[in-house]
Amino acid sequence: MRYHLIPLGCQMNLSDTERIVTVLEKLGYEATEREEEADILGIVACSVRQKAIDRVYSKIHKWNEWKHGRNLLTFVSGCILPSDREKFLERFDLVFTINELPALPEMIRHYGVPTPAALTVVDAELTAPPAGDREPDARPVPAGAPMLTPAGPHGVTEDIRSGFWRVKPTYTSSFEAYVPIQNGCDKFCTFCAVPYTRGREVSRPSAEIINEVERLVKSGYRSITLLGQNVNSYGLDRRSDEIGFSQLLHEIGERTAGYPVWIYFTSPHPRDMTDEVLEAVAAHDTLANQIHLPIQSGDDKVLIRMNRNYRVSGYREVVTSIRKILPEATLFTDIIVGFSGETEPQFQKTLAAMEEFRYDMAFIAMYSPRPGAASARWADDIPQDEKKRRLRELTEVLQTTAGARNAAQVGRVVPVLVEGRDRQGYLSGRTEGRVPVRIEEPDDGNDVPPGSFLDVEITSARPLSLYGVPSGAPLLPTAADAPEQTVASVSR
């Protein structure tokens, strides 16, 4: 029997999906790339954009039509707005929050679907002596009734810490992994619905995080990203019994010392960024020289309307610290153009910030109201053409500043993590600062598999990428480095 999963949205949903895979495979299901072949179809939903929500409705519409001719179980989890939850309950067989994942086998069983693992047990029991006083099923639920696991008496906090995070993920890559360190968000930016879909911030126990990172590093993983909506507020929800983010980084740095790995974190919030966090990155070789620091806007009034809780002057202080403490670090950001009410002078301030902070990469989004977010009640009053113009102007600045920083790399030999091949057949990878590199084939004709570290001499630079030739033998992933768990297959 087979399953097919569709994670939508961000890296957090992909990471959550890796844990759903583990639960389904323990039940005996096998992955299939083809929805048509699956017995269980699941979506890990994203509520950030209307497009993603529309995709959920279109998928379930199709899947429910398939149900007339076959036995099929459908579920949805992930980021679900309260208003969508009710509608999903009418359409999907199971709707559950990600912290309820450990109860999924129960839900499937009570739904009346025999799992492959259960069928194996039944086969075994047919040849075994009668069970005698075996316990009857305690909570029968009529087949066909949609199920929603009620929240436990202690709410999400207890569930996610004691259940979901203890599920071992089935990683989708053999050399690159995401490790969740917290869930939810307390910031309530007006353009974002995450606090309503994932709830308040909950920090994962540090011992579990450190163990997962150490296990990954020892089994050969070369790139690990600590994930959270606000990674640098890690531990603030449990001040009395948990370490803070900078201490977590120190512990991870110490436990991974000497291993060939780059460890990242995303995304920090500018308000919670401290010198201690930057000093922790500087203190350990395995902590990568790359900081993602979303600015969103270069205008204080827009930042207030966004409820970002910092001013441009405060953001500038953080960037000054980054340049001082981590002079080699690349700096990435997120920006929204055309936010509700954003005037031309306000946009010009964002343009000025873009020039001042000399980003290596910026993820620039044209504002669109997100269902469930506070700003969705305000007019989306900047015309689409105007948003496009603002995006274009910011992109031009980015290309100039990032291009100049990339040009300074020409002639240097830098380590690159090989990720695969591009469409033209060149090796492709990223520097420690996550700048994409296109690499010529090594002269010796030997293959350089994904997951290898390769020293590359940078021969030319483009605005957002580098080009180079191999300089020395690669550090290959070895058999001893093989990951301990099956690599999952999920469709994107």
Site residues for ligand SF4 per CB under 6 A: 185, 187-189, 192, 194-195, 229-230, 269
Closest approach of Cβ 196 to ligand SF4, in Å?
Answer: 9
Q: Which is nearer to ligand SF4, 109 or 311 (CB)?
A: 311
Q: Where are the beta strands (DSSP E) in 204-248?
A: 223-227
Nearer to ligand SF4, 103 or 192 (CB): 192
Q: Compute the least distance from the CB of residue 365 to ligand SF4, in Å.
A: 11
C-alpha distance from residue 312 to each of 57, 173, 188, 301, 348 (Å): 40, 38, 19, 10, 13
429 bridge partner residues: 418, 437
- Least separation in angstroms between residue 302's CB and ligand SF4 is 14
Residue 430 near residue 489, CB atoms below 8 Å: no
- What's the closest the beta carbon of residue 315 comes to ligand SF4, in angstroms? 14
Contacts of 470-477 with CB under 8 Å at 24 or more apart are 470/439, 470/440, 470/442, 470/443, 471/413, 474/418, 474/442, 474/448, 475/260, 476/448, 476/449, 476/451, 476/452, 477/174, 477/175, 477/220, 477/222, 477/449, 477/451, 477/452
What beta strand segments (E) does 27-120 contain? 30-31, 40-45, 73-78, 94-95
Q: Are 287 and 253 in contact, with CB atoms under 8 Å apart?
A: yes
Structure tokens at 137: 């099923």
274 burial (CB, 10 Å; 0-12 / 13-18 / 19+) is middle
